[in-house]
Amino acid sequence: MPSGVPDAQQMFTLTNTIALVAWVGLVLFPGWRIVSSTLCAVIVPGFLAALYVGIIGWRMSAGLGPRIEMRDMATITGLQNLFKNDWFFVAAWTHYLVFDMVVGAWVARDAVRLKIPWLLRTASLVLTFLSGPVGFLMYVVSRGLLRQTCCIEKGESESLKAIATRLLSR
């Protein structure tokens, strides 16, 4: 490997560290537009996406990647063989980091706009970071239930106690 080029483990650590730092900012400051609309919606996902493209392009153009046939992409065994290559695994993981962050940035902006209670917003963001679809599902279900039980669309936020009281009185 050329001098100064990180190995796959170092790149994995780098991408995870960048994503973690951005996620901490998103969870702590979801209402800051510089964080939710710029850093976590464009800058960090864009940088990670460029790394993804760079890794795939570099490995494929240098003939250092596994031989890929389209039919292999449609089978579990084919994908397992592809991801045995550390660099392709790092690229795949970076793909997850990019899309989870884009989803998290949307959740943060939407939750702040609708004045979703802090606990639901924060739990949804943390779960989106840890397991993207779980956090996203928690958010959209919570958002839907809150829209039915109170006036979050108009920006009229109720406390969790008031929401619980209203739900129990039905």
pLDDT reported for residue 63: 66
Q: Which of 46, 20, 25, 45 is nearest to 35 (CA)?
A: 25
With CA atoms as reference, report the closest residue to 152 among 125, 116, 124: 116
Output the pLDDT for position 81: 81
Q: What angle do CA 112, 117, 123 make, to 5 degrees?
A: 90
Question: Is 57 part of a structural domain of the chain?
Answer: yes
Q: What is the pTM of this model?
A: 0.80
163 belongs to a structural domain = yes
Rounded to 5 degrees, φ, ψ at 156 are -90, 100
Inside any domain, residue 3:
no
Classify residue 1: in a domain, yes or no: no
Given a cut of 70, the residues of the chain with pLDDT beneath it are: 1-3, 62-70, 150-170
Looking at the domain assignment, is residue 71 inside a domain? yes
The closest of 96, 54, 92, 49 to 73, measured between CA atoms, is 92
Asked, for residue 112, whether it belongs to a domain, the answer is: yes
In a domain, 63, yes or no: yes
Number of domains in the chain: 1
* pLDDT attached to residue 80: 84
In a domain, residue 160? The reply is: yes
Domain region containing 133: 8-169
Question: How far apart, in whole angstroms, are the C-alpha atoms of residue 135 and residue 11?
Answer: 26
- 105-121 residue pLDDT tens: 999 999 999 989 999 99
